[in-house]
Amino acid sequence: MTARRDFIKKGVVGAAGLLAGCAGDVDAGNERSPSDASIDTLSATAKGPVILSTWNHGLAANARAWEVLLAKGSVLDAVEQGVMVTESDLGNRSVGLGGTPDRNGHTTLDACIQDHDGRCGSVAFLEHIEHPISVARAIMEKTPHVMLVGEGAQRWALENGFTRKDVVIPEVRTAYLEWLKTSQYKPIANVENHDTIGLIAIDEQGRMAGSCTTSGMGYKIHGRVGDSPIIGAGLFVDGEIGAACSTGTGELVIRTVGSHTVVELMRHGRSPAEACEEAVRRIMKFLPNPKDYQVGFLALRKDGAYGGFAIQPGFDFALRTAEGETLVKVASAWKPA
């Protein structure tokens, strides 16, 4: 099978213009069968600041994060403010208060953040707060803990400057009432091109940070927490090595501590794309039928190299560098016959 190197240019931002000439370097768009392991998995490398985030909603998040970096904000501010754009988008059904509810009709939110030095904060099973990522950061900065959940997290947030927001979206309500008729939990892998947002970044000085925020799997059991707020699963940052984040079926990512695995593989010499591929293949070892699942990883190494890999086609990531903004299609292990 021949590797198809495919670099999709889209949504140019500002004067930087289109990313050009990267097609031969980037490990994107290679759709391969699981047995086709011999193809070289190069990762592209960018100079200066680099921001990667999951799915096409990452374009708007990256644009905000880039503005923060341009204004000499910290990379931690950039990863927080970037995903806040996605959290505020009430048209998004998988991030923020516009997210699809759980089976009891509650939209519950999970998020985490980690900085260059490994400091981290996390919140899970949170309701009625517009920016869970900021709650996660506040937990990191103001408490001796890493993670707060549920009612306790909400109370703490309200006592610490966050305001309650009640959002009712008729379309979401109608879809929920329709879902109640069958009440079947059968997430369809990859049917929509918008999902959890994970965003990882490196600034001009080589400092790294990452953020991850989601409303989780639609119609999950009330109380369910996925990988996204779990440091090491949905996100991991080691300022000496690199950062990784994930999207997809969180249970699979938690079982393999996926993002930590990716960073450790980079520590031991794998390129970002190779590390993501190995993490995906470990998950696939216990999947009887990969076509029913999607998990994708993104990785960014300290030297600016980046890459991704997914179980199946359809996962893409938004990339922002000094050369511009683009959406990159991610290589996958499984493809339809």
Active site residues: 196
Segment interacting with ligand SD4, rule: CB under 6 A, options 144-152, 211-219, 265-273, 315-323 = 211-219
| Strand pairing report for 147-149 and 120-126 | parallel
Stretch that binds ligand SD4, among 114-122, 172-180, 245-253, 273-281 (CB under 6 A): 245-253
CB of 230 to ligand SD4, least distance (A): 10
Q: Are strands 197-202 and 242-248 parallel, antiparallel or unpaired?
A: unpaired
| CB 248 to ligand SD4: min, Å | 5
**Cβ 190 to ligand SD4, closest distance in Å?**
10
Does 210 engage in binding with ligand SD4 (CB under 6 A)? no
217 lies in the binding site for ligand SD4 (CB under 6 A): yes
316 near ligand SD4 (CB under 6 A): no
Contact 126, 157 (CB under 8 A): yes
Find the binder of ligand SD4 among 49, 58, 96, 250 (CB under 6 A): 250
Binding to ligand SD4 (CB under 6 A) within 170-189 occurs at none
Q: Residue 287 Cβ, how far from ligand SD4 at the closest point, in Å? A: 15
> Is 227 a binder of ligand SD4 (CB under 6 A)?
yes
Contact flag: residue 196 with ligand SD4 (CB under 6 A): yes
- Of residues 59 through 118, those in contact with ligand SD4 by CB under 6 A are 94
Question: Is residue 45 near ligand SD4 by the rule CB under 6 A?
Answer: no
Output the smallest distance, CB 217 to ligand SD4, in A. 5
With CB under 6 A as the contact rule, which of the stretches 40-48, 148-156, 246-254, 277-285 interacts with ligand SD4?
A: 246-254
Which spans of this chain sit near ligand SD4 (rule: CB under 6 A)? 94, 195-196, 214, 216-217, 226-228, 247-250
